[in-house]
């Protein structure tokens, strides 16, 4: 019963968003609510979506709760599009400078790439 109550509350919050439109750009998926709010989730923040082709990303399913890519086993809930995003300053730096390759920077610093990735 407790889980049902939580689930119902979550569904009601998402239903209140009333998603009117979903569209893809080269680097993100966007949603627009009936009240005109727009938000995006960047593919780079989701490894499966970042590695996917444009065709694979285009094959999503949408329902009242969110967006699902069956082939990629990835899900995004609508509520998450509007949640505050917090990233490390280092992450923000690399996002602001796409010409820098984090892997190349790690190699140049003689640092394991996996270690640098933990800070991003």
Return the half-sphere exposure (C-beta side, CA atoms, 13 A cut-off) of residue 117: 8
Ordered structural domains, the chain, with CATH: 2-84 (3.30.2020.40), 86-120 (no CATH)
The pLDDT score that the predictor gives to residue 94 is: 82
Whether 47 shows a pLDDT value over 70: the answer reads yes
Q: For residues 30 and 40, is the Cβ–Cβ distance under 8 A?
A: yes
Q: For residues 67 and 75, is the Cβ–Cβ distance under 8 A?
A: yes
Q: For residues 31 and 24, what is the distance between their CA atoms, to the nearest angstrom?
A: 9
pLDDT, tens digit, 9 for 90 and up, residues 7-38 = 333 444 445 579 999 999 999 999 999 999 99
The pLDDT score that the predictor gives to residue 16 is: 58
The pLDDT score that the predictor gives to residue 99 is: 85
pLDDT, tens digit, 9 for 90 and up, residues 59-113 = 999 998 899 999 999 999 999 999 888 778 887 888 788 788 888 888 888 888 7
pLDDT, tens digit, 9 for 90 and up, residues 66-81 = 999 999 999 999 999 9
Task: Single out the residue of 7, 97, 22, 96 nearest to residue 59, CA to CA.
Answer: 22
The pLDDT score that the predictor gives to residue 4 is: 30
3 vs 28 pLDDT, higher one:
28
The pLDDT score that the predictor gives to residue 88 is: 80
């Amino acid at each position: 019963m407790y889980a049902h109550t939580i689930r119902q509350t979550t569904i009601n919050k998402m239903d209140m968003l009333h998603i009117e439109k979903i569209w893809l750009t080269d680097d993100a998926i966007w949603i627009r609510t009936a009240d005109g709010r727009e938000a995006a989730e960047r593919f780079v923040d989701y490894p499966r979506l970042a590695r996917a082709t444009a065709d694979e990303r285009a094959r999503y399913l949408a329902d009242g709760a969110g967006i699902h890519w069956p082939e990629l086993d990835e899900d995004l809930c609508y509520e998450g599009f509007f949640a505050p995003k917090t990233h490390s300053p280092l992450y923000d730096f690399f996002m602001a400078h796409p010409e820098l390759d984090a892997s190349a920077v790690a190699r140049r610093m003689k640092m394991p790439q996996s270690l640098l990735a933990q800070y991003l």
